[in-house]
Amino acid sequence: MLANAPHPDLAALKNIITENKNYETELAYIKDFTGNLSKYNLVILHNLPSETSDISGVLTQLDKNNTPRIFIVGLQTSQPKFNKAQDAIQIAGNSRNTEEIQAELNQGFTLFTTSDNLKNKIGSFPPLLTPFGEYKVLGTASTYLYQNIKKIKTNYPLLVFGEKGGIKTSVFCGEGIWKWRLFDHLQNKNYDLINELINKTILLTSVKTDKRKFRTNTSKNLYKDNEQVLFDAQLFNDNYELINEPDVKLVIKDETQKEFSYTFSKTQNYYTLNADLFPQGSYTYISTTNFNGKVLTATGKFNVESVQLEQFDLTARHGLLRGLSEKYNGAMLYPSAISSLKDILLNNENIKPVMYQSNSTKAIIHLKWLFFLILTLLSAEWFLRRYFGNY
């Protein structure tokens, strides 16, 4: 991450990125940076270029190595320099004025899938600040998020993904990501939504262009056992146009080689699948389709970890316990009042002595002691009769 100046968004981004074990990140400021950019797989440019900082040398290094980059446009960004620095969008306006914007999801976006939770909630995230102006998407760049200004949906881009000459460029128009992260945690007690947004942005921007005609991907590589496993598949014709005419099958195998079979749903011009929940473990999958007489396959893997709910909420909910006890005519006692438990139990009309009675029968043949008693008496009678001469 290369920044014009310190900003709370930088700390938020670094926290999000470092949570992903697949990434290593470094933060530097443009005025102090003298390093070699060739060793990086992705560069995030925050509030750059600015009025005081020229990044032509940085861009030359990035272009030389075909390094993908993400521009985060903020209040310190120089619009004229920014317009020359990339080919994804253009901004015309007065950068000294600002606009409050919220996110509006592009429902037709197909470069990656979005969880239903993020789809439903991203529009309620707090407003971002962005330079005032007219925003225009250039070339073949794809808009993922639009700007919603004063509750009015516009065609101005908020988050755009572009590629030109084999170099990927993404642009996020606005600052205030730290507020989105805080809001996510306040609402959901976790950072899952903002993590999904940033991680998918980084992944799409940083991965090399895939020329395969058939692809299948999971929405992420690591799931929790209370999360639904989502897949998407893409099939291209010879002109690399998305199609979804043939059926796509999917087989998932667990660690014991047990198989789970599915068929993708056709959505617009691609495929989607909700495989539902999986228990903890490692899984592999293979998807197949038949197109133009050829069998095409795609493989991958994902992992599922168990969720320890106690890790997320360590506070005893006394109010909940009290409510449950009152609902079922019980009582909640603190240690200091434990001495009153005896009186509560004795005075509770629902607690009464209960006597149970049960009857059981057994065949006389099973009473061995009775058999031996009769045998003894008969033997005694026979002996006495013999003895006294009655026989």
CATH architecture of the domain 214-305 equals Sandwich (2.60)
* Helices and strands in the chain, H and E counts: 9, 21
pLDDT (0 to 100) of residue 268: 85
pLDDT (0 to 100) of residue 119: 94
pLDDT (0 to 100) of residue 313: 64
Distance CA 332, CA 325 (A): 6
Do residues 216 and 250 touch, judged by C-beta distance below 8 A?
Answer: yes
Distance CA 130, CA 149 (A): 11
pLDDT digits (tens, 9 = 90+) for 36-89: 898 999 999 999 999 999 899 999 999 999 999 999 999 999 999 999 999 999
- For the chain, the domains span 2-206, 214-305
For domain 2-206, give the fold. Rossmann fold (3.40.50)
Neighbour-count burial for 196-224, b at 16+ CB within 10 Å, e otherwise = bbbbbbbbbbbeeeeeebbbbbbbbeebe
Single-letter amino acid code for the residue at 39: K
pLDDT digits (tens, 9 = 90+) for 257-301: 999 999 999 988 899 999 999 999 999 999 999 998 899 999 999
Task: Quote the tokens at residue 161.
Answer: 């993904």
Do residues 209 and 68 touch, judged by C-beta distance below 8 A?
Answer: no
Report how far Cα 369 is from the mean position of its chain's Cα atoms: 72
Low-confidence ranges of the chain (pLDDT < 70): 95, 239, 309-314, 390-391
Element (H, E) at 118: helix 116-121
pLDDT (0 to 100) of residue 174: 96
Do residues 252 and 283 touch, judged by C-beta distance below 8 A?
Answer: yes
pLDDT (0 to 100) of residue 239: 66
**Three-state DSSP class for residue 29:** strand
The DSSP secondary-structure symbol of 78 reads -
Query: For residue 296, what are the contacts with CB-CB under 8 A and spacing of at least 6?
Result: 213, 214, 235, 288, 289, 290
In this prediction the pTM is 0.59
